[in-house]
Amino acid sequence: MAKFRRIGVLTSGGDAPGMNAAVRAVTRAALAHGVEVVGIFEGYKGLIHKNFEVFHERDVDNIIGKGGTILWSDRCDEFRYEEGILKAKATCIENNIDGIVAIGGDGTFRGATDFTNYGIPCIGLPGTIDNDISSTDESIGFDTAMNTVIEMVDRLRDTCDSHRRCNVVEVMGRAAGYIALEAGIATGASAIAVKEIPFDEDAAIKKLIAQKESGKRNFIVMVAEGIPLDSAGDKQYSEKLAERIQKNTGIETKFARLAHVVRGGSPTLRDRLLAARMGEAAVEALLDGKSNLVVCLQHDNIVEMDIGYALSLDRLYKGKVQPGELEAKYTAEQIADMQRFCDEKFAAFKKLYDISNRISN
């Protein structure tokens, strides 16, 4: 194992339930190896401005069930530039911080890559409720967010049934529709709209009419916030959809945007367990001399992936790759593997979407 004196742990970007459980796991795993841990406050900003403290074992007692992040979070523009990175590196050198575990999303991982390139080894843990990190099957916070949506939509359905009403529910997921899709299936939504698959609005309206005529009294339509603005730009798609449903079906239709409330709350068992597995794996990777990796869950196995490769994979899956971008970095075989990975991931997503349509009557 590599010789480490201290490991720093930080959270960056949007908060997610389970981040505290990951901080606890990193702290306990490092201390078990005789390595000190410093908790860095407000993400990379805390490194630049020397806002951190040494964590002892008791400092992470009773945080496993807390939502949000005790380390707080911030998006640090200063860290995007060399001057900021060098300030953060100086903080690490002056305070014997030999490596960093960074918990967050793709912006967090880009920062970890930059820091690794400047000589501070980093390991990334995926923490985002949207589950929009393509290299992992599941990110820390996703399961809790879905359970929060389920609880809230179940309550909406109660009042929908009382009044023979429809609720169009918009959930978070700007870059990925996983919350809308999986929580939509789990709440028995009549229709689900996500950006990954074209939404047949006419077919959805016909289905609602047929359900109404068959005697159904409550209707839920789940929409991911990533659906673009309407052409006029004055309202989100989901708000306009609620108006069109009421006009074309005669069903009284309300609109609910769950927004940031879905980020909060005590993490579920699944998120606590995932955070524990990933946090421990991140420490082991650092102590084994590895860096610039993201810890992922694939087919229920914890695996490691180069952060640069993971970010490129993410861009490929989301259709953001520019011509020649991958060819400049990877072999033809690697690109083929990336494409195969993305195809399989989308096929699984599409299969769930098809299931939602078949069982939503």
Catalytic residue numbers, as ranges: 130
Give Cβ neighbours of residue 15 (< 8 Å, ≥ 6 apart).
67, 68, 69, 73, 141, 263
Q: Is the dihedral angle over the CA atoms 18, 24, 27, 30 positive or is it negative?
A: negative
| CA separation for the pair 52, 70 (Å, rounded) | 12
According to DSSP, residue 251 is labeled: -
Return d(Cα 272, Cα 268) in angstroms, integer: 6
For residue 16, the one-letter residue type is: A
**Contact, 180 vs 196, CB < 8 A?**
no
Helix (H) or strand (E) holding 349: helix 332-358
Separation of alpha carbons 199 and 181, rounded Å: 12
Residue 229's SS3 state is coil
**Using only C-alpha atoms, what is the Rg of the chain?**
22
Structure tokens at 338: 């990336």
Spatial separation of the C-alpha atoms in residues 1 and 285, rounded to whole Å:
9
Residues 6 or more apart whose CB falls under 8 angstroms from that of 142 comprise 16, 128, 129, 130, 131, 178, 179, 271
Q: Residues 6 or more apart from 2 whose CB is under 8 A from it?
A: 286, 287, 288, 289
The answer to whether the CB of 222 falls within 8 A of the CB of 187 is: yes
The half-sphere exposure of 11 on its side-chain side, counting CA atoms within 13 A, is: 25
Of 241, 245, 239, whose CA–CA distance to 209 is shortest?
245
